[in-house]
Amino acid sequence: MKYRYLGRSGLLVSRLCLGTMTFGNAQWGCDEEGASAIVRQFVDGGGNFIDTADGYSGGEAERILGVAIRDFDRDNLVIATKCWFPTGPAVTARGLSRKHIITACERSLKRLGVDHIDLYQFHGPDPYTPIEESLRAADDLVRAGKVRYIGCSNFYGWQIAKANVLAEAKGLASPISAQHLYNLIRRDIEREILPAAADAGVGMICWSPLAAGMLSGKYRNQGAPDAQSRMGIQAAVTMPRYWFEDALKLIDLVVEIAQRLGYTPSQVALSWLFGDHQVTAAIIGARNADQVKENLLAGDIDLSAEIREELTQALPLNHGYPFEWTDNNLRSTFKNAEFEPRHRVRLP
């Protein structure tokens, strides 16, 4: 297992993070015993980074994770959780208000059975609460010793930039990580989110790295996913997101490259993410320990630049404007400079 520093922080995490959205999910997940087997497989395989959220299985995922980690030295693990989704019927029990963040954190600590959370993440942006209020509440949790670092998830690029500039200006704890949807099929974050995160020194933690299981190649030559699979059960969301002609062609290439290299398609799809050093970790979600065992090997695989490029070009991303404008004008305008642009905003 290889390890990467999370953004600009000194926190070293395994580049595979264990996701727990399956824990306690009766339809496409696992029970307490299955979850403990998954955690054991992951930690024994060198993983130290585990992601959960108070919204997963109505809090059950945190409780079950708390049971599973009792077998291990808590100090050797990096436990991440999140708040934002409703935790009850009260109108205040959601979002990123000071009131909710502090209550949600206290409850997560109890469910997990730990005295601190290593990475406390805002699960999504709250359009009604000033970000300064949320940052101050998170900073208080850091100062109280209940949280070590803070991060965000599903933020727009400008929100990542604003949160970091504000936190720095006010002397508050700055978000060191962003958690976003990123995989070979859906590369939307390359437009505005990865550049914003790079500029702020924020590390990317990718969710759904296997596109709900599609990139394992298991649905190839099928007209539809198996009804009891994650893809099948969540079809209303997953099918329009991942199941289209160009994606199916890309998956054929992932399978072909996997055969060429002696890996599995899942291992190839996961390791493609690590070719970009701004990606700190990919969060592997699993139904059972066998899936974890297979996916864990990607923690050590580095694809060659040529193979990575072949995969990247198989389903190209149209970056659109203003990338198109900068591509046409920037290099010619600044052609007298000896080196590449100093600022970290990427060009397509």
Ligand X SMILES: NC(=O)c1ccc[n+]([C@@H]2O[C@H](COP(=O)([O-])OP(=O)(O)OC[C@H]3O[C@@H](n4cnc5c(N)ncnc54)[C@H](OP(=O)(O)O)[C@@H]3O)[C@@H](O)[C@H]2O)c1
The full length of the chain comes to: 348
Assess 211 for contact with ligand X (CB under 6 A): yes
**In 3-state terms, what secondary structure has residue 274?**
helix
Which of 9, 266, 271, 280 is close enough to bind ligand X by CB under 6 A? 266
Nearest distance from C-beta of residue 10 to ligand X, angstroms: 23
**156 part of the active site:** no
Nearer to ligand X, 98 or 287 (CB): 287
State the binding string over 151-170 for ligand X (x if CB under 6 A, else -): --xx----------------
Nearer to ligand X, 3 or 85 (CB): 85
Choice among 56, 149, 242, 263 that is catalytic: 56
Which residues have CB under 8 Å from 138's CB, separation 6+?
A: 101, 120, 122, 147, 150, 172, 173
Nearest Cα neighbor of 203 from 276, 152, 307, 279 is 279
Number of residues binding to ligand X, judged by CB under 6 A: 29
Nearest distance from C-beta of residue 290 to ligand X, angstroms: 8
Which residues have CB under 8 Å from 97's CB, separation 6+?
A: 126, 129, 133, 134, 137
Nearest Cα neighbor of 121 from 62, 75, 79 is 79
Classify burial at 321, counting beta carbons within 10 Å of its beta carbon; exposed 0-12, middle 13-18, buried 19 or more: exposed
Nearest distance from C-beta of residue 11 to ligand X, angstroms: 17
Distance in angstroms (rounded) separating the CA atoms of residues 188 and 194 = 9
Assess 41 for contact with ligand X (CB under 6 A): no
Which of 47, 66, 209, 299 is close enough to bind ligand X by CB under 6 A? 209
Stretch that binds ligand X, among 64-72, 107-115, 130-138, 285-293 (CB under 6 A): 285-293
Site for ligand X in 120-139 (CB under 6 A): 123
Residues serving a catalytic function are 56
